[in-house]
Amino acid sequence: MYSDDLSVLFSIIALAFGIFILALLVRLWIVLGVIHDTCRILQRIAKEKYPEETSNVQQPKEPNNSDVFDHLP
pLDDT at 59: 62
pLDDT at 54: 62
* Tens digit of each residue's pLDDT (9 = 90 or more) over 25-68: 999 999 999 999 999 999 899 888 888 776 666 666 666 666 66
pLDDT at 28: 97
- The secondary structure of residue 41, as a DSSP letter, is H
pTM: 0.55
Q: Is 43 exposed, middle or buried (0-12, 13-18, 19+ CB in 10 A)?
A: middle
Long-range interactions of 50-54: CB distance < 8 A, separation 24+: none
Confidence of residue 6 (pLDDT cuts 50, 70, 90): confident
Per-domain boundaries in the chain: 1-50
Greater model confidence, 3 or 32: 32
